[in-house]
Amino acid sequence: MTKLKSKRQIFHSEADFQFALAWEIQREYPDVEVRLEYAYKIDDKVYHIDMLVICEDQYIPIELKYKTLKKNVIFDAEEFHLKNHGAQDLGKYDVLKDVFRVENVLHDHDKFVNGHVIMLTNDPSYWKKDSRENTCCAEFSIADGGVVTGSMAWAEHTGVGTMKNREEPIVLTGSYKLKWHDYSKFDDKRNGQFKYLMFESERDDLFFNTPKTE
């Protein structure tokens, strides 16, 4: 991400972000193979992984999220017209669901050694703590400095429409300290700065309690 931000400070879409990161990984590690939209079946369910990095016989799944507030930018003579995605409660749920999915893939086969979930956004609603208490998505907070682990569910007062197709609680095996990193900044407006959050899951740590080695 550090190398990528020196070349691309903004993206047109999640697909643009995905391709640019895949290209940078391939440039940095020419011996690995990179697959986009990799399909992997666990029992009767097919998981679509945004990116799979293959290093010899080891697989590294990577899930990406690119959530934006509306913004028009000209950068290096290129025009960017970002959409306003909104629905931050669903965005928070979805990024944590990606962490859950990566953990499931790591659990299934030992060729998956570790995985990552990366969220890039110019929406401060994701990295700032909500000033309101008892929101419907309080347990799905990914604010800077927090920790996510265990079971997380919608508040009891959540409307049926809000959580449609996302009703199930998210249960994580790992514990993740949330640290947002600066990515790029265009101005001091609310939508003028991009930050990213990265989750890293290691198979041995999640399921076998193997101590990390330096």
Q: Is the pLDDT of residue 95 over 50?
A: yes
Could you give the dihedral angle defined by the CA atoms of residues 75, 49, 203 and 60, in that order, rounded to the nearest 10 degrees? -60
Q: Is the pLDDT of residue 45 over 90?
A: no
Would you say the C-alpha torsion 25, 27, 33, 35 has a positive or negative sign? positive
Q: Which of 196, 195, 203, 141 is nearest to 170 (CA)?
A: 141
**Spatial separation of the C-alpha atoms in residues 122 and 96, rounded to whole Å:** 18
Provide the β-strand partners of residue 34: 53
Delimit the domains of the chain by residue range: 2-203
- Residue 210 — pLDDT band, cuts 50, 70, 90? very low
Provide the β-strand partners of residue 79: 74
Average pLDDT, the chain: 91
Residues whose CB is less than 8 angstroms from the CB of residue 154 and which lie 6 or more positions away in sequence, other chains included:
136, 137, 139, 162, 163, 167, 169
Give the angle 60-65-68 at the CA atoms, nearest 5°: 160
Question: Tell me: the pLDDT tens digits for 26-41?
Answer: 999 999 999 999 998 8
Write down the pLDDT at residue 156: 87
On whether the CB atoms of residues 55 and 68 are closer than 8 A, the answer is: no
Question: Tell me: the pLDDT tens digits for 127-182?
Answer: 998 877 778 889 999 999 999 999 999 998 888 988 888 989 999 999 999 999 99
